[in-house]
Every structure is written in structure tokens, then in C-alpha cells.
């Protein structure tokens, strides 16, 4: 499955790659599968559950790991502070920082920005998992783990694609940017404001956005080329402070 994800990423980037280059790249990917799976295992082990405020330090560690990986590859990386989250109790806690990274700034090339997230939904063995959700497990060639397909492996596939080009000393056909967040599963708090604030800087030269967090077709990763977006509405209903019997206070006796 990992190989398929990497191929999907590779073909999106490789429109200018000649067959020889693709051949070299796919050979490189095939011979590094174990490393890719090991990295995914380390990422899945981090309980980066954005819905559980008690796991916020795990989530911060996940963002740091993501940034470190991109830095180690020579990317220009920023961990963007997006402020605080208001909790229903009235307390506030820090939102996980957003990773903004860049590889290449050649003005003659297009710039592709990959979006992904490394937070996950809650998962407990008792919820009905056949395996420990935070221990990536290979069953008949399929890898099971919380966040493996949504969205840690797709994020890693893009990162490893850039890494494969670098390792083979091949010129990337496009400039590549990354926006990787840690609040997607709970509504992407803070992301909109961050995007708007970087409209004239980080996003100014971005030609294409790849949202690598969509459906897979027939268990295969897919490159989605259009989304309809979401529309949210909040309805607030106010009522009396205590129960009022319908036949006595307003309402109708039936």
C-alpha cells in the first residue's frame, strides 16, 4: 500500500520526469520500503489525538517530529504559532503549531503546496480494534494503525517523494511547499486565520494546492482534483432555566 501511495505522489510531481527518471525513482522507492514503513510506524506510535486535550503534548511532539524530518532534508521550515484554543470550561490551551515548509524557489518552475494533517481521531483497543491502534501492524500486506491512511502515510508519501528526488540527485520538477496541521480532526481551528495571514508571503507564489486527505478508490490512493468544500452553520437555541410543563406554561394540552 505504501508503494501505491508513493507512486500516486510521484506521478503528480513527475509530469516532467522522463521515463528513465521514473524508472530510477521507482527502483529507489522499492528498495527503501522498509524504511518508509518504519517511519510510518514511529509516526503512528504518537497518540496525536486532537480531540483529547490531555494528549496535547503528544500532538505538539508530532508537529515537532514532522518539522524535524523536513528540516533534516534541508527544507526551509517554520513552526507557525496559531494561538490558543478556547475550551468549554473557559480555559485556554495552545493550539498545535502548523508546519510550513518549502523545497526550492525556482521562479521558472510551478509551485505545488501539499496540505496534510498528522492529528488523529480517538482510538482505543476496546472500541473494537483487532490490533493495538497505535502499533502499526501488517496483516496480509495491509498496514493497520490509527492515522495510517488518514493522514500520516499520505503526508509521508509526499515527504518521501521529495527525499527520493534528493537522494538520486534529481532536480525536482516543481517547487514543493508543505502545510501540515494538527487540528484537522476537530475542525482545523486556527488554520483559516493562518492561511489569510500568509496570503501575501508563503502562499503568494503557490500555483497548485494538493489536498492529500481525500477518499481512496478501491483501497488505492487517489489524487483528487476537485472538492466541493464544506458549509457549516451554528444554531443557538435559548430556553428557560428550568423544566416548564407544556400544559401549564404556554404550549397546548393534548
Residues annotated as part of the active site:
119, 184
Task: Give the C-alpha separation, 62 to 45, whole Å.
Answer: 10
Size of the site for Zn ion (CB under 5 A): 3
Does position 135 interact with ligand NAG (CB under 6 A)? The reply is: yes
Q: Which stretch binds ligand NAG (CB under 6 A): 68-76, 176-184, 196-204, 243-251?
A: 196-204
Does position 150 interact with Zn ion (CB under 5 A)? The reply is: yes
Does position 197 interact with ligand NAG (CB under 6 A)? The reply is: no
- We find the least distance from the C-beta atom of residue 136 to ligand NAG, in angstroms, to be 8
- Which is closer to ligand NAG, CB of 53 or CB of 196? 196
Contact 25, 12 (CB under 8 A): no
Question: Residue 151: which of ligand NAG, Zn ion, none does it interact with, CB under 5 to 8 A by kind?
Answer: Zn ion
Residues 202-221 that bind ligand NAG (CB under 6 A): 204
Task: Give the C-alpha separation, 174 to 203, whole Å.
Answer: 15
Task: Give the C-alpha separation, 69 to 159, whole Å.
Answer: 9
How many Cβ atoms from other residues are within 10 Å of residue 77's Cβ? 19
Does position 213 interact with Zn ion (CB under 5 A)? The reply is: yes
> Under DSSP, is residue 22 helix (H, G, I), strand (E, B) or coil?
helix
Does position 196 interact with ligand NAG (CB under 6 A)? The reply is: yes
Residues 6+ apart with CB under 8 A from 48: 55, 58, 59, 61, 62, 118, 119, 120, 147, 182
**Residues engaged in binding ligand NAG (CB under 6 A):** 132, 135, 137, 196, 199, 204
Amino acid at each position: 500500500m505504501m508503494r501505491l501511495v508513493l507512486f500516486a505522489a510521484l506521478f503528480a510531481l513527475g509530469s516532467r520526469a522522463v521515463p528513465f527518471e521514473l524508472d530510477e525513482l521507482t527502483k529507489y522507492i522499492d528498495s527503501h520500503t522498509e524504511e518508509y514503513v518504519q517511519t510510518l510506524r514511529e509516526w503512528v506510535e504518537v497518540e496525536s489525538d486532537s480531540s483529547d486535550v490531555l494528549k496535547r503534548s503528544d500532538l505538539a511532539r508530532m508537529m515537532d517530529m514532522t518539522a524535524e524530518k523536513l528540516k533534516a532534508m534541508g527544507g526551509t521550515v517554520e513552526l507557525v504559532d496559531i494561538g490558543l484554543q478556547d475550551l468549554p470550561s473557559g480555559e485556554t490551551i495552545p493550539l498545535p503549531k502548523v508546519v510550513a515548509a518549502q523545497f526550492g524557489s525556482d521562479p521558472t518552475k510551478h509551485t505545488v503546496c501539499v496540505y496534510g494533517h498528522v492529528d488523529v481521531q480517538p482510538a482505543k483497543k476496546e472500541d473494537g480494534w483487532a490490533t493495538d491502534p497505535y502499533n502499526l501492524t501488517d496483516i496480509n500486506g495491509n498496514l493497520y494503525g490509527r492515522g495510517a491512511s488518514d493522514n500520516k502515510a499520505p503526508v509521508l508519501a509526499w515527504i518521501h517523494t521529495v527525499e527520493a528526488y534528493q537522494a538520486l540527485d534529481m532536480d525536482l520538477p516543481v517547487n514543493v511547499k508543505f502545510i501540515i496541521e494538527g487540528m484537522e480532526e476537530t475542525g482545523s481551528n486556527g488554520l483559516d486565520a493562518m492561511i489569510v495571514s500568509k496570503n501575501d508571503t508563503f502562499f503568494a507564489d503557490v500555483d497548485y494546492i494538493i489536498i492529500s486527505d481525500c477518499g481512496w478508490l478501491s483501497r488505492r490512493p487517489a489524487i483528487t482534483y476537485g472538492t466541493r468544500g464544506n458549509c457549516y452553520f451554528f444554531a443557538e437555541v435559548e430556553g428557560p432555566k428550568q423544566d416548564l410543563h407544556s400544559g401549564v406554561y404556554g404550549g397546548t394540552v393534548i
